[in-house]
A = this chain, B = another copy of it.
Amino acid sequence: MKWWGWGQEGISFTHEDKPALRPFIMRHLGLDMERTTSRPVAFEDLDIPAPAVGAELRGALERAVAVERVSTDPLDRVIHARGKSLRDLVRHRRGELGRLPDVVLRPRDEEEVTAILRAALEADAVVIPFGGGTSISGSLEARPAETRTVISVDLGLLDRVLAIDDASRLARVQSGVFGPHLEKQLNAQGFTLGHFPDSFTHSTLGGWIATRSSGMQSDRYGDMADLTRGLRVVTPSGMLVTRPVPSTSTGPSVREMVLGSEGRLGIITEATVHVRRLPARRTILGYLFPSWAESLAAMRDIAASEASPSVTRVSDANETQFSLATKKKDTLVDRLKSKALKEYLERRRGFDVEAMCLSFIGYEGGERHIAAQRKLVGCIVARHGGLCVGEGPGSLYDQKKFDTPYIRDYLLDRGALGDVSETAAPWSALPLVYDNVATSAHGAFDDLGVRGYLMCHLSHSYHAGACLYFTFAFKPSGKRDGLEEYDAVKSAIQQAFVDSGATLSHHHGVGTEHASWLEQDISAPGVLMLRALFDGADPGANLNPGKIV
């Protein structure tokens, strides 16, 4: 993992194979992609304070896990200091490291995790669980003024599928497994979890649970909150175990308290999750809609219909234009940008091609099932003036879906800031949420005197609403600290969410980034209940303190 950016060393976003992108970015952000203006400081130049681990605690930790899995290596500590929020990337690139963890531990099993927590509590140290380190909500960083020893517990060695209950379609899985390794183990036995968040390649099961993650096929498979049944969590009062029962009436749901707990209640070591047989066939089709309003209405109607697609997603006009600009030279783009198609859309279908919206709808199952679903969806799409453009766009989407997060580093190298904010709301509120976010973001760009781009897609459809996922980018004015300008835009968007009846986040968690909107979202008594829960379960405030509330 890069210490200064997203994902693997050697992989990065590039515009060079995307001929339309450079002019697109120049037009919308006033930024020349050929000019790299900023680079992270060299690792050697970082000012890394010595770790503060008392001899007694160090001894206890070395007894808890083997000495070679107790690390105070500077690179390890820097990597484990934060997640990958834009604020994290900017500060790390600048060499502003914040409160580094003093030690990184890599337990191999639940017993070792238990021993670590016992030793940490004994020494009144702070424990921060670490999965893939992809949090973009500030869930992984110790409080700046933390005076106690900070222990990062990297769960990467707990990476096995322990058992699959074929009849119940449940798998017992260790929490530290990364997405691809998990799917590989499940696929080998003919199963899939079906959870594919954008961070899939770099994030872990435990992280998905601790943040209430949602994957791009959630329409069919459900969110992590649905997929997760049994849990094993090492807590200050012992092993918390919830049974993998399908539904239960045992008071307020303890299972749902662990989901989204971001390390505040304990360290998740294992989960029993839904798995499904790999589908016979899987396909993602592209559709075009004449407008955002018709797109939203179509997705709403699909969710109410007897069709059950695995993916429903549609980009607004800005994101559609961006998608077309980032496509490599290929037949699809040629087709979508071809004069013949343009003429057909404009003259025969009455499209304004600048306003059209590109959608992906996925189907899974047997041939007959897929055919029936496609037909049901096709009728709804047609009713809203849309048309199917075949499998090409879908397969392209499938290929590039996990590459998107690399673009933030690419923009930072060029002096621009790009980030995402996502939410969920009832169907009836989505047009208002969308409009208010656009007004607020552009208001913020104007206040800063910068050119900014805002785009959005709808994804994760539910019975009563959907997720709206916004991406924004701008070149800071240079008059103020870039992060201050970032805050102005990001805050304007978040405030528009909660002011419009939407939630502060659909699947990115609260951490520190979103904590200031929590009370507006769940009300003061809701915050009080969370505090009561955390204080009661962790009276010494040793477990990732300062997050969520």
Contact = CB atoms under 8 A, between A and B. Distances in A.
Interface in A243-295: 243-254, 256-262, 264-266, 274, 276-277
A523 B242 contact: yes
Interface residues of A, number: 96
A507 B372 contact: no
A162 interface: no
A328 interface: no
Given A165-B426, A235-B525, A426-B244, A252 B530 contact: yes
A90 to B, nearest CB: 23
A460 B248 CA distance: 11
A119 to B, nearest CB: 19
A525 B537 contact: yes
A535 B532 contact: yes
A66 to B, nearest CB: 27
A93 to B, nearest CB: 27
Interface in A32-90: none
Contacts of A501: 243
Contact of A257 (B238, B246, B257, B365): B257
A215 to B, nearest CB: 12
A195 to B, nearest CB: 14
A508 B251 CA distance: 10
Given A223-B247, A246-B424, 10 more contacts: A167-B428, A239-B525, A246-B463, A246-B467, A248-B521, A249-B506, A276-B463, A529-B533, A531-B536, A533-B536
12 contacts: A214-B247, A237-B525, A238-B524, A243-B501, A245-B426, A247-B506, A250-B503, A251-B260, A251-B262, A251-B510, A257-B257, A528-B537
Interface of A: 165-170, 211-214, 223, 225, 229, 233, 235, 237-254, 256-262, 264-266, 274, 276-277, 300, 304, 306, 308, 365-366, 369, 372, 424-429, 460, 462-467, 501-510, 514, 518, 521-526, 528-533, 535-537, 548-549
